[in-house]
Amino acid sequence: MKIKVIFLIMLFGGISQTRASELIDLVNTYKADTRALQRTYSMEESQEYYSRFTTFYKDWKGKVEGIDFQALSPQGKIDYVLIKNLIKKDSYLFSLDYNAFKEIAHVTDFADGLYKFIKERRRGKRPISNELADVFTLAGKTIDNKMSTLKKIPFKGWMQAEKAAKSIASLRKGLKEAYSFYYDYDPEFTWWMKMPYAKLEEKLISYEEFLRQNYSENSVKDDGSGIIGQPIGKDALIENLKLEFIPYTPEQLIKTAEKQFEWCKAEMIKASEELGYGKDWKAALEHVKNTYVPPGKQPEAIMELYNKSIKFIEDRNLITLPEMAKENWGMIMMTPERQKVNPFFTGGTEISISYPTEGMSHDDKLMSMRGNNPNFSFPTVQHELLPGHNLQFFMTTRQKNYRNAFSTPFWVEGWALYWEIILWNKGFPQTPEQKIGSLFWRIHRCARIIFSLKYHLGELTPQECIDLLVNEVGHEYANAEAEVRRSFTTRYPPLYQLAYMMGGLQFYALRNEILAKGWTEKEFHDRVMQEGRIPVELLRNLLLEIPVYENYKTNWKFSTEFK
């Protein structure tokens, strides 16, 4: 037993600092309750769903407020602030959806009998099939009347129309599940319901499509780019920033991104001059893009870069990299379909390599290879693997894994970006090509802040975001288009793209504070990995033993550029 304890101390840097808090079970219960209700109330666009979760968040708010905050340990107080904030964040995002639903709820006012059937199915109540057939038939007839009425009063905006269509899609999903439960297992149900269900499903499909298109001509859904997102506006941006413990306005974040952008350009010019292109850094960038490896060679190139970065990090004793972590990461090739929204490789438990396939067009093949050349990949292999995302996954399944509930992109992506900053400062990129590759990604992260915030503020369209990436960063067009599509049409939250650089700056500022206290870099880095996925500001309070209070609000000004 003593040997095991000594091993843990050697591996993780001590055990007293990583004691569990009193609120582990509370956090786990909240997440388990959330998942349980989502499974039960699977029609997310229904009054039943919104009513149940309104009660859920109210009950949990009261439960947390009933805890004796002063009696908690320092770790427990941090978790108290985090669970309280998580409930507030979930409730706030939920309220935005609910308010949007209330505006279009009338499109399902014909469906009370259908919702009743779905609800009673959950407990296996046998329906009176001939009466249910009447309900389905009447609902189908009512849909025709509703479409005639709603056609005269279209929605003001396309997002309302989309929300309305989703409510019908949600109803269709619930009906299909309930119908399938009885069909063929109940002969009477099957005899009565087969035709009414088929006809109603056909009507609902038409109704859903009608609603999706039924909005004012003054509302612009597609700016011509084919990328259709949903900008959230300034008020929602500000509230989201507070909930992520970022005490700055969107305008302040754009300002610091622009300053970082200028620093990157100045460094890019220095590297360009080393290559013989003078101040024409875009010409130097074109040179670097053409350093791509032939088809079939990219996995070997990635492996070579991985080995170089690991050796560099371990030679300088910067962080503990467990042997099991180095042994158990995987490598896959990204599908052509996924490359349309992820033009560059991604990472985590495995690295997913983006490179062209035989079936791509000639232009797309070249854009993929040029955009994934070894010098562009030079600063990002460690971002995706060790000590970036792969180490995060490895450690957060072993250390305080209940804190995965508090995961934020400012921790996840910020940590990986922070390592790009650290390795740059330590001279990891040696050649001008490697420097340009590193700076390309730094500029890219600055541009992400600018284009994503300006999009949500209503100041840029998706096409203008693409143009910014092509003209100001130097992206291949298809890669820029995929990047913008990824930002606005997938499940990434609105602040995700700015979290890379801002999270990295948070970690860098915390590092400087911690080292000033006499810690080594390794001690700091290992401790970060022990404390789990929490906002960097709360991590700072924990490491520097700064007390938190019961109604804690973000206040850490981590960047001097804002002062």
pLDDT at 14: 41
Q: Summarize pLDDT for 291-346 with one digit per residue, the tens.
A: 999 999 999 999 999 999 999 999 999 999 999 999 999 999 999 999 888 888 88
pLDDT at 20: 76
| Domain definitions of the chain by residue range | 2-104, 109-213, 240-562
- Which of helix, strand or coil describes residue 398? coil
Tally of CB atoms within 10 A around 84: 19
First to last CA, the chain: 52
Q: Summarize pLDDT for 336-385 with one digit per residue, the tens.
A: 999 888 888 888 889 999 999 999 999 989 989 999 999 999 999 999 99
Among the ranges given (43-57, 273-287, 342-356), the one the predictor scored with the smallest mean pLDDT: 342-356
The phi and psi torsions of 331 (rounded to 5 degrees) equal -140, 125
pLDDT at 560: 67
Q: Summarize pLDDT for 413-428 with one digit per residue, the tens.
A: 999 999 999 999 999 9
Tally of CB atoms within 10 A around 120: 13
- The answer to whether residue 433 scores a pLDDT higher than 90 is yes
Q: Summarize pLDDT for 467-492 with one digit per residue, the tens.
A: 999 999 998 898 899 999 999 999 99
- The answer to whether residue 166 scores a pLDDT higher than 70 is yes
Rounded to the nearest integer, the mean pLDDT of the chain is 94
Rounded to whole angstroms, the Cα distance separating 442 from 419 reads: 12
Question: Across residues 544-549, what is the average pLDDT?
Answer: 98
- The answer to whether residue 463 scores a pLDDT higher than 60 is yes
The two structure tokens encoding residue 295: 């088809």
pLDDT band at residue 559, thresholds of 50, 70 and 90? confident
Q: What's the number of CA atoms in the CB half-sphere (13 Å) around residue 11?
A: 13
Could you tell me if 478 and 364 are in contact, meaning their C-beta atoms sit under 8 angstroms apart? yes
Q: Which helix (H) or strand (E) holds 222?
A: none
